[in-house]
Amino acid sequence: MVSETRVKIWCWDYIKRIAIYKDKLAVQLPEWIIIYAVSPDDPFDMKYKATKKISKKLDCDMLFVLSKHLIASKGKTIQLFNFNGVVEWEWILDTDVTYMKVMGGAPGREGIILSLISGAILKIFVDNAFPV
């Protein structure tokens, strides 16, 4: 996005959601999720290469990709997946999530800020089981 160039990535299926974080791009298709990454040699090259393919049907409202994880939110539940498709954490909140934003952080320790329908605002770190 910084270089203002266009890139065409062929997925050959209906795209449900996309998520972008730094050098990662996650594309959710009906039957699986494909994780793309930019070449580490030149981050402005914009040549995405498929690095992982997760064969999992996810039913979610929001999808986020981080440096080492995927986050899927559906109603009151937030799930943290690694790039192999295994659930590492699951947070079940009091009310539904209305908004989420990735704050960033060290790779594997990113933080997410989210708001709930009840008006509560929480901060979740992907390496901690307890929201703040």
Residue 1 predicted with pLDDT over 80: no
Contact between 116 and 96 (Cβ < 8 Å)? yes
Q: Calculate what percentage of the chain has a pLDDT beyond 70.
A: 92
C-alpha 16/C-alpha 47 separation (Å) is 22
Per the DSSP assignment, residues forming a β-bridge with 123 are 113
Token pair listed for 36: 């793309």
Residue 16 predicted with pLDDT over 80: yes
C-alpha 17/C-alpha 22 separation (Å) is 17
Name, of 43-47, 49-53, 89-93, the range with top average pLDDT.
89-93
- Note the pLDDT of residue 43: 58
- Note the pLDDT of residue 121: 95
- Note the pLDDT of residue 108: 87
130: part of which helix (H) or strand (E)? none
Model pTM score? 0.85
